[in-house]
Amino acid sequence: MTIPVFPSGVLFERAPYKENWKTLSNQSEGGVEQRIGKWTRPIRQFEVIANLMEQSAEADVLLNFIHARKGAFEPFLFITRSKRSWEKVFVGAGTGSRRVWVLPFLEWDFLTVYVGGVEVFWGPDYDVLSAAGPGGSDLIVFRVSVANTAVIEADGGNAKFVAYVRATDLYEDDHVQYGRFNARLSLTEVKADVDPYAS
């Protein structure tokens, strides 16, 4: 399966997002509320904002990308173009047999990886294969299989963030405002039963 970078040729300024933890809320007659997060990691809703100041060239790239996927919910990679530090970003969960995952960062200055909340170390515990994953992303390869259900997280310093997302509300007139050529697109992260990056 081909997973394109979303979309090449368009520079994105920022990607604010909201998190949905599938929170269950119970209220008693006295007004006391109890909240429980059902998921161990959230689904994120991104708003992609592209600065399309060069008239129609970038706008056409974005519109064609959106229109080609109308209603298809095709998964793809979205990379924020701004660099910053990211902490405890979900990478994956162990299966007891799998060793390879896609890192959620590009062009990072430093990398810290955690398995089950405990820091593991490059060299003795894992290796990194540069640009070996989809869209030129990096792969992390553990020396041994990660224990079943153990959560893998990572910190990335001064890095571009890679999100695995699918398109929603794919083609609406108000997504592209031609006054300043600002494009806005709503994206929802995929929470797949089967990891699309599994080797």
Residues 134 and 164: beta-carbon distance below 8 Å: no
Strands laid side by side in the 100-102 sheet = 100-102, 139-142, 126-129
Question: What average pLDDT score do residues 9-34 get?
Answer: 81
CA dihedral for 92, 98, 100, 102, sign (positive or negative): negative
- Does the pLDDT at position 96 exceed 90? yes
> Within the chain, where are the H helices?
56-68
Q: Tell me, what's the pLDDT at 44? A: 81
CA dihedral for 87, 91, 96, 97, sign (positive or negative): negative
pLDDT digits (tens, 9 = 90+) for 23-52: 888 888 888 888 888 887 778 888 777 766
Which of 67-76, 92-101, 182-191 has the highest mean predicted lDDT (pLDDT)? 92-101
- Does the pLDDT at position 5 exceed 70? yes
- Both structure tokens of 129: 């294969």
Phi/psi of residue 185, nearest 5 degrees: -140, 135
Residues 1 and 72: beta-carbon distance below 8 Å: no
- Does the pLDDT at position 177 exceed 50? no
Residues 132 and 171: beta-carbon distance below 8 Å: no
DSSP assignments along 82-124, one per residue: S-EEEEEEEEEE--SS--EEE-SEES-SEEEEEETTEEE-BTT
- Does the pLDDT at position 140 exceed 60? yes
Q: How far is CA 195 from CA 24, 63, 125, 190, in A?
A: 25, 28, 22, 10
- Does the pLDDT at position 80 exceed 60? yes
Q: Tell me, what's the pLDDT at 175? A: 41
Q: Tell me, what's the pLDDT at 39? A: 81
